[in-house]
């Protein structure tokens, strides 16, 4: 075992014998140990080729703020329970950062997954909707994944969203607007207001790298797992005889579409796994599809909605879990070479936008299971750093499930769910950032950072979002790009 | 200097010489050092009477969740700035805990400052509105402050609320309902619904300890600073010839009512400082009294409210700051004896209830200044542990200040403020837990725990609220009560 050999050669910097030594015999042993260790300097050991290189697993819970974590903990483990996340030795907070597109010197306090993923992936602050490009000036911003790849490290992206969605996209592609996911989307409109989207300078015929899916098809990332077939089934803009998927195959990607195929992937072949047309279906839903709703007021009296439980989402059947995808990605990397793996649990955010607390809870369960897989790996590969963070906070709030004694005729002005917990109490969950029926907005609160691995006790308790890039870069030894 | 002497006698457990030793000469020095240290055991040093005893400063930011901290950081220091809080070496999270009064086995997920302060102060979970008494059974729950006092330690309570308010009350008094603040309140009603309050079994004529102010007047706490004269000016239920204030004086309290008097207090006299009728006025307010408001909708079009700044609150003039009160409290304690000091920044919560973001921001500024005073003390008294936490989360959310491009006719269904920041951007702040015009509710998210002092790197990243009691108890060496 190469990894075990490397481990044995490490110098134990703080030898416990010194803090508990009780007599001269032990001191003499310590003396001889120190002398023998110093016959081989630390520098020499560091460069031993058999020592496993640093490995980085970044887990992003999209929209995973303290409200979401608390709601999930209570539902999944009870009020006195704990999540896998809660067992990590380090937990700090991260200030989200973004700037205005028209005036990049001006701070914007509430932003989206595109700019926040760009901050994490590249260490640079940008404006909403931008994917690893700079606000205003459209500079291409190099990501930690690209730097790792250039340095010969293994690379992987795993997500429950479409692989073309903002978070995964910012780790491997560059474009001015997150909505340019496929070649058909480069000049288009979104929403009922038909807000224009224009990525024309990125069209391949204009000398650009193409849409996000086209850029992904051209990558050399070792493993890519998620949803998004609808963006890869589009006809390639560069060659009207082939789809983007064909282009990925031509570029050497083995494409898989079924959970069972995850077990068959081989480490010497690049893998593109696409398991659903867009976002992968979530694990849980409200019983019968129940979700938060507007509270009825009849003759001035508040009628709270009935409490409901979560149930398995039938559409999730046949989907690989985030833990299974994470395990498959880790299997692509050998023990010696370093790697950069990003794992996103995307639907904490997406289900909160849609006011579906069970969807967010099931997704947080998936994140915790994926973390468990990552922790198992890190325990047997102690050169692995695991970071878990969120890109931004979300709308949902855990609130009283009852109408106040002091104000029985008043309740949430927004959308409200009463969720029956397995321990027999009821959680009130409030979504009230907007009265837009279609979806809630984000919030701008600081987000969590959890860590496990070498030197995590030296991380400060507070950092800014772009500094996560630096932590990963230093851990992987990539500081000289 | 007694404190410095004690410091010099400590064993340095991890002697740095071992990690950087480069030759035999240094090893021999280390050898002789270790031998000499072991001629006097650590046990003997621990019991040296001159060594300063452990000291505990607990700072509670009422309602201080991640939203409030982020809003305050941005307003006070800018999006790239930091608060004093952000410099602390440890930052974990705390799961709030409460149970149902009628069924104490049943979890309640969103609760108030009375039950949460009881959990922190006594290590026991109770129901909303209860002050250091058990749900259902009305057992008297001993607080860390009372245990510290019994052990001969110094004790102090500092708050920007009335001293009779839930958080300070739970550290020193015991009653079934937080609203029984003075002798006139023992059987009463609150709110427009005239919800009954009944503390009759605590009336002194019934053999009880009296209302919260009466119980405070009978205390032996060394220093009590805050608001609340209206509850102390009431006629004592035990003796109709005297007010509760008279009873406090008869019990040996020196009563002060002015900021200037803080400089004149003496360490050998118990001090009761009351600086306002109830909650102390806050430092900041919206310009001209501006606060969050309902968003106007005219012909289906959203009209966002004008952005405003914060300004000094004129009513704050003449008030002692939380930092000044904290410094005065610390001056009551000598260097050798241990002490338990609780400092509450109460109006983060109270101003959020009233939808006044500037009020909460000014109060968070006060908390950070009080923390700075505590840190100065702790640096010169390294036997001091500082914990900073919140009792529960609050309604306010940092949201986009603009109407969404995709939904220009939709905005917050609640109360909304647009706050102009000193760096020239605008924060949107949303209050939408209820449509009750009078006040917002709490939320149930996990809350922060910050720490500075001995062994804080050994604290787990996640704890339950009642465990804070145990951390304080162990630090103060009070585990054997």
Active-site annotation of B, residues: 113
More confident residue, B377 or A481: B377
Is the pTM higher than 0.95? The answer reads no
CB atoms within 10 A of CB A168: 32
Q: In this complex, do B445 and A397 lie within 8 Å of one another by their Cβ atoms? A: yes
Contact yes or no for B66 and A432 at CB 8 A: no
Q: Which of B390, B399, B401 shows the shortest CA–CA distance to B443?
A: B390
Domain assignment present for residue A166? The answer is yes
Token code pair at residue A477? 């030894």
In a domain, A211, yes or no: yes
- A153 and A14 fall within a common domain: no
Res A305: pLDDT: 96
Is the minimum CB–CB distance between A444 and chain B shorter than 8 Å?
A: yes
Average pLDDT score over chain B: 90
Tokens standing for residue B426 = 């605008």
- Clarify whether residues B47 and B150 are in a common domain: no
Instruction: Please tell me which residue of chain B has the smallest CA distance to A297.
Output: B435
Q: Looking at the predicted structure, is the pLDDT value of residue A40 above 70?
A: no
A178, A278: one domain:
yes
- Say yes or no: B320 and B383 in one domain: yes
CATH number for the domain spanning A283: value is: 3.40.720.10
Does residue B63 share a domain with residue B10? no
Say if residue A5's pLDDT is above 60: no
Tell whether B35 lies on the interface with A, counting CB pairs under 8 A.
yes
Cβ contacts of B108 on chain A, cutoff 8 Å: 425
Q: Does A190 lie in the same domain as A67?
A: yes
Residue B429's nearest CA partner among B72, B62, B60 is B72
- Structural domain harbouring B22: 1-51
Q: Are residues B6 and B154 in the same domain?
A: no
A188 in any annotated domain: yes
Considering CB atoms only, which of A86, A410, A447 is closest to B462? A86
Taking the CA atoms of chain A, what radius of gyration do you get in angstroms? 24
Are residues B297 and B405 both part of a single domain?
yes
Q: Does B41 touch chain A (CB under 8 A)?
A: no
Q: Using CA atoms, how far apart are residues B110 and A67, in angstroms rounded to an integer?
A: 12
Q: How many structural domains comprise chain A?
A: 2
Interface membership of B17 toward A (CB under 8 Å):
no
Query: What average pLDDT does chain A have?
Result: 90
Q: Which of B249, B269, B374, B263 is nearest to B320 (CA)?
A: B263
Dist. CA B206–CA A41, nearest whole Å: 78
Residue A402 lies in a domain: no
Q: Is A264 part of a structural domain of the chain?
A: yes
A294 within a domain of the structure (yes/no) = no
* pLDDT tier at B193, thresholds 50, 70, 90: confident
Summarised one tens digit per residue, pLDDT across range A151-174 is 999 999 999 999 999 999 999 999
Cβ–Cβ under 8 Å, residues B114 and B170? yes
The reply to whether residue A21 touches residue B13, judged by beta carbons under 8 angstroms, is no
A200 and A347 share one domain: yes
Tell if the CB–CB gap between B192 and A407 is shorter than 8 Å. yes
Contact B27 A18 (CB under 8 A): no
Could you tell me which residues come within 8 angstroms of residue B16 by beta carbon, excluding any fewer than 6 positions away?
none
What pLDDT does residue B49 have?
Answer: 54
Q: What would the two tokens of residue A450 be?
A: 């959890």
* A240-248 mean pLDDT: 94
Residue pairs spanning A and B at CB distance below 8 A: 257
CA distance B355 to chain A (A): 15
Q: What whole-number distance in Å separates Cα of residue B71 and Cα of residue A110?
A: 11
Tell me the nearest-neighbour CA distance from B306 into chain A, angstroms.
18
B20 touches A: beta carbon within 8 Å: no
Look at residue A239 in the predicted model and tell me its pLDDT: 79
pLDDT over 80 at B48, yes or no = no
> Is the residue at A77 inside a domain?
yes
Whether B223 contacts B156, CB under 8 Å: yes
Rounded-to-integer distance, Cα B335 and Cα B411, Å: 56
The verdict on A8 and A140 lying in the same domain is: no
CA distance B208 to B214: 11
Residue of A27, A432, A462 with shortest CB distance to B86: A462
Q: Where are the beta strands (DSSP E) in A228-348?
A: 253-256, 270-274, 284-286, 293-294, 296-298, 301-303, 310-312, 339-345
Tell me whether residue A41 is exposed, middle or buried, using C-beta atoms within 10 angstroms of its C-beta: 0 to 12, 13 to 18, 19 or more: exposed
- Picking from B406, B398, B410, the residue whose alpha carbon sits closest to that of residue B304 is B410
* pLDDT tens, position by position, A95-142: 999 999 999 999 999 999 999 999 999 999 999 999 999 999 999 999
What's the rounded Cα separation, in Å, for the pair A241 and A246?
Answer: 9
Q: Are residues B335 and B437 in the same domain?
A: yes
Residue recorded with tokens 């709703």: A293
A430 → closest Cβ in B22, B412, B433: B433
Distance (Å) from the alpha carbon of A40 to chain B's nearest alpha carbon: 12
User: B104 — alpha (psi -120 to 50), left (phi > 0) or beta?
Assistant: alpha
Residues 378-397 of A with CB under 8 A from B: 393, 395, 397
Model ipTM value: 0.90
**Which of B91, B103, B119 would best serve as a mutation to test chain A binding (most A beta carbons within 10 A)?**
B91
Q: Using the beta-carbon criterion (under 8 Å), do A412 and B425 form an inter-chain contact?
A: no
Mean per-residue pLDDT for A299-318? Answer: 96
**A257 belongs to a structural domain:** yes
Do B370 and B426 belong to one domain?
yes
pLDDT at A480: 58
Residue A11 pLDDT greater than 80, yes or no: no
């Amino acid at each position: 075992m190469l990894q075990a050999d490397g481990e044995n050669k490490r110098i134990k910097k703080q030898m416990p014998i010194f803090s508990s030594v009780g007599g001269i015999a032990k001191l003499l042993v310590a003396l001889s140990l120190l002398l023998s260790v110093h016959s081989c300097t630390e520098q020499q050991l560091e460069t031993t080729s058999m020592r496993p290189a640093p490995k980085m697993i970044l887990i992003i819970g999209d929209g995973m703020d303290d409200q979401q974590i608390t709601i999930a903990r209570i539902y999944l483990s009870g009020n006195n329970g704990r999540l896998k996340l809660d067992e990590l030795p380090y937990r700090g907070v991260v200030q989200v950062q973004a700037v205005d597109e028209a005036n990049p010197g001006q701070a914007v306090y509430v932003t989206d997954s595109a700019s926040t993923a760009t901050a994490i992936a590249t260490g640079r602050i940008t404006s909403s909707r931008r994917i690893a490009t700079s606000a205003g000036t459209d500079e291409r911003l190099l990501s930690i994944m690209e730097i790792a790849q250039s340095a010969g490290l293994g690379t992987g992206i795993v997500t429950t969203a479409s692989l073309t969605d903002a978070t995964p996209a910012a780790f491997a592609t560059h474009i001015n607007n997150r909505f340019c996911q496929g070649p058909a989307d480069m000049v288009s409109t979104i929403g009922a207001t038909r807000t224009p989207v224009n990525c024309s300078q990125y069209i391949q015929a204009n000398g650009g790298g193409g849409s996000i899916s086209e850029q992904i098809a051209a990558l050399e990332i070792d493993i890519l797992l998620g949803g998004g077939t609808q963006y890869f089934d589009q006809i390639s803009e560069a060659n009207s005889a082939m789809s983007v998927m064909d282009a990925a195959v031509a570029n050497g990607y083995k494409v898989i579409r079924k959970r069972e195929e995850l077990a068959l992937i081989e480490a010497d072949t690049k893998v593109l796994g696409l398991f659903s047309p867009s976002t992968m279906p979530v694990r849980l839903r409200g019983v019968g599809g129940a979700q938060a709703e507007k509270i009825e007021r009849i003759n001035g009296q508040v009628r709270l909605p009935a409490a409901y439980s979560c149930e398995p989402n039938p559409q999730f059947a046949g989907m690989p879990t985030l833990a299974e995808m994470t395990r498959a990605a880790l299997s692509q990397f050998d023990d010696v070479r370093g790697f950069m793996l990003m794992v996103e649990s995307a639907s904490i955010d997406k289900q909160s936008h849609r006011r579906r607390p069970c969807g967010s809870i099931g997704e947080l369960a998936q994140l915790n299971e994926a973390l468990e897989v990552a922790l198992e790996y890190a325990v047997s590969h102690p050169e692995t750093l695991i970071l878990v963070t969120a890109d931004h906070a979300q709308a949902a709030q855990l609130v009283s499930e009852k109408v106040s004694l002091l104000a029985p005729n008043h309740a949430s002005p927004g959308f409200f769910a009463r969720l029956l917990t397995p321990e027999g109490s009821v959680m009130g969950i409030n979504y009230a950032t907007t009265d837009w029926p279609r979806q809630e907005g984000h919030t701008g609160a600081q987000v969590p950072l959890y860590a496990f691995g070498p030197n995590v006790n030296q991380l400060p308790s507070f950092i800014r979002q772009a500094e996560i890039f630096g932590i990963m870069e230093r851990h992987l030894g990539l500081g000289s790009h």
